[in-house]
Chains A and B, each alone.
Chain A
Amino acid sequence: MKHSSIMLSFCAAGSLFLAGAQSAKVATPAPAGTLRLISSLPRTGSANAQTNTMVNGIKLAIDEVGGQVDGWKIEYQDMDDASPQRGNWDPAVEAQNANAAVKDDECVAYIGTFNSGAAKVAIPILNRAGLVMVSPANTYPGLTKAGFGEANEPLVYRPSGKINYFRVVPTDDLQGVEAANWAQFLKARKVFILNDRELYGKGIADVFRKQAEKLGLEVVGFEGIDSKAANYRSLATKVKATSPDLVYFGGTTQSNAGQVAKDLRSGGYEGMFMVPDGCFEQAFIEAAGAANLNDKTFVTFGGLPAEQMTGKGAAFCTAYRAKYDADPEAYASYGYEAARVVLQAIANAKTKDRAGVLAAVSATKDFDGVLGKWSFDANGDTSSRVMSGQTVHEGNFKFVKVLGN
């Protein structure tokens, strides 16, 4: 037992020394010249397809301002919150990224995360450091709004008492409701609801179910799928046996929406199929096979699609196409919007440091963005209520209508 006591005294001495060293290390203001945006998104594994377009959007936004704002050089760091052994977001890596961003004196904004679960880890860390976080993808309502998640939400994400977390995407509680309304408008009477058992998919499916019941639609089934299964033939048979008019799937391309659509068709189901914005990307059509989706598939999205946009949005589409030789997808617009909000805030900030940028982001008002003209509300949510409905026509998304009116 001799060496253990030696070890213990070592640590005690070490921590005392360090405690002193740490408090001596005062947070210095950013040296004049460089400000850094850090994004933390799952870059390894299955979400890579979606995050690529998001990073493209962020890079485009920075390029458009020429990589500088008011004489300050804007740098961008693309962090990965996934690890190879997980192939998906990893909470330890997310915490590590958030801590690294906090330590990086030049970092003034954190763009992320992709998964709401990762946001739960990152927000409190960044909140204590007063670093603004803008998410291009989190839709779990409890992160910002009271009454939708647990009783202690969203206050647990604000240990400093201030709000540092903002998001440019509408939350599940809005999109799920609009989706159910649209289902009723499409004359669906019996709906079968599927979800991928993930935070996003399950959340939005729960909201859809609640609203559908409220509207008097008959919910003939509610099932959570295994997103790694090879196929859903047996589930398709079960769905077909209840003969619904519409099947709603709460999930993403990543959680196998393509296979679900495919198997519903090959299992003989011929009715409507509706999915949320996690599937609003070409990869979904490619995974599902256009023939399985055409004209009977409906996609909701928190904003207007590329071809419907005018002004800023139209310019974004042109620029995106020119730079990446591809149409901007839902996630590209979200990424671009998040980065632009931050860039504009940097321009408006009185002091070009974390506090200044945070104040400027929270003051964002009537922002002329690609998702419409919107402001951040008191919770940090976008005020934009523009939801659009798409269908798939001849292998491409086709705008149908603005939802909610």
Chain B
Amino acid sequence: MTMRWRPGPIFIILAIAAFIPLLDQVLPAKMQLSEAIRGVFLYAILALGLNVVTGYAGLLNLGIAAFMAIGAYTFGILTCEIYPFQLGFWPAIALTIPIGALAGFILGAPTLGLRGDYLAIVTLGFGEIVQDVLKNLDVVTKGTQGINPLPAPNFGGGEWTAEDEYKWYYLFFVLLVLTVLAIRNLERSRLGRAWFSIREDEIASRSMGIRVERIKMIAFATAAAIAAFAGGLSASVLSSTGEPSNYDFQISILALCIVIVGGIGSIAGVLVGALVMVGLNSIVLVKATAWMAAHGIGGQGNVLLSPNNWKYLIFGLALILAVRLKPNGLLPPRIERAHK
């Protein structure tokens, strides 16, 4: 730490995020952002997890949402009053991490020998299996009912509710910052360099003495742990696990888009990617349709006139344009990847 400190993009992004609730104080109620930005934080944590396995270690994972589901249901079962455990928020949220990692090991152990896209389909399949199991084992998971209510953190005062939105905001913010710090330390560690090494050249890494399977496994488990943590947080803030199909393939795809549009392998990129992709969905499109409806634009008679019917198209075009204009992402990592 003798170097002169210059604020990097990560710091700038997070610093701006810290002030959103202040901005909300001057914005009219309909334009307030903090709740939507809190959603961005959640996806940012999820995508940071995916970034470890796909960005650093170069393993395409199409089933990250499954680990989010595992985290959410772990949190639900450990805390909800209809189960015997009835832990509080903190112990339960802490336990989602090792349980997520364990799930990552279970999936990873037999399959990490697979090459590129073969691994991708296995992760995809795992996502489907987890959903089916959660749905079908209704004795344990309550099937599609979801598990509720779930506890919120509690700092001395009463338990938080949805109305304590700024407390939630800063909780998510702090947890995001901690995740970022943890991942940045990993990235710069021996382990991080091993991940980059196997991403760039597996065979060369192996001959340099890197235990490739083991290193891959750690990447997998780390990603799974972070995703499960995000799942637990999401369940807590909603006070419900939702239903298993809330964690379907589309969520995995969204996380992947965040990572790639933002800049694969770059923490700052993932943060920006989450803001752009989730922000487009839950801020821009939502506010735009509300505005149009309030001004009498659009209607229901014709399928083309209803703004809701354009959401897929806009989302899709945004993806196409983003990678077309910025093929390496909005904020690619500083160190260029060796060209392949």
Contacts and interface: CB of A to CB of B under 8 A. Distances in A.
A268 interface: no
A105 B22 contact: no
B139 to A, nearest CB: 12
A150 B281 contact: no
A205 B237 CA distance: 31
A78 B286 CA distance: 11
B210 interface: no
Contacts of B167: 15, 19
B147 to A, nearest CB: 9
A214 interface: no
B126 interface: no
Interface in A105-144: 105, 117, 120-121, 124-125, 128-129, 140, 142
B85 interface: no
B171 to A, nearest CB: 9
Contacts of B165: 99
- Chain A interface size, under 10 / 10 to 19 / 20 to 34 / 35 or more: 35 or more
A103 B29 contact: yes
Contacts of B82: 150-152
Nearest to B248: A86
A254 to B, nearest CB: 13
B148 A156 contact: yes
B285 A92 contact: no
A331 to B, nearest CB: 14
A93 B144 CA distance: 18
B323 to A, nearest CB: 16
Nearest to A87: B250
Given A7-B177, A149-B145, A98 B162 contact: yes
A95 B281 contact: no
Contacts of A79: 290
A140 B282 CA distance: 28
Given A15-B167, A84-B285, A197 B308 contact: no
Interface stretch (B32-40, B191-199, B216-224): B32-40
A129 B311 CA distance: 31
B178 to A, nearest CB: 8
Given A84-B315, A121-B240, A152-B81, A18 B146 contact: no
Interface string B20-31: 011001000110
A225 B220 CA distance: 32
Contacts of B174: 7-8, 11
B177 A92 contact: no
Nearest to B138: A202
Nearest to B316: A84
A21 interface: yes
Given A7-B14, A7-B15, A150-B142, A117 B243 contact: yes
A390 interface: no
Interface stretch (A48-56, A239-247, A343-351, A371-379): A48-56
Given A7-B177, A14-B18, A87-B250, A156 B166 contact: no
Contacts of B250: 85-87
Contact of A80 (B15, B136, B286): B286
Given A4-B177, A7-B14, A128-B163, A120 B254 contact: no
Contacts of A121: 148, 238-240, 242
Nearest to A89: B246
B245 to A, nearest CB: 7
Nearest to B43: A92
14 contacts: A14-B170, A15-B170, A18-B22, A18-B166, A48-B308, A83-B281, A84-B315, A85-B250, A96-B36, A105-B29, A117-B145, A121-B148, A124-B162, A197-B135
Given A48-B309, A84-B312, A85-B281, 15 more contacts: A4-B177, A10-B18, A14-B22, A14-B166, A15-B167, A87-B250, A92-B42, A93-B282, A100-B35, A102-B162, A105-B29, A120-B148, A140-B145, A197-B135, A197-B136
Interface of A: 1-4, 7-8, 10-11, 14-15, 17-19, 21-22, 43-44, 48, 52, 55-56, 77-80, 83-88, 90-93, 95-96, 98-100, 102-105, 117, 120-121, 124-125, 128-129, 140, 142, 149-152, 156, 159, 197-199, 202, 224
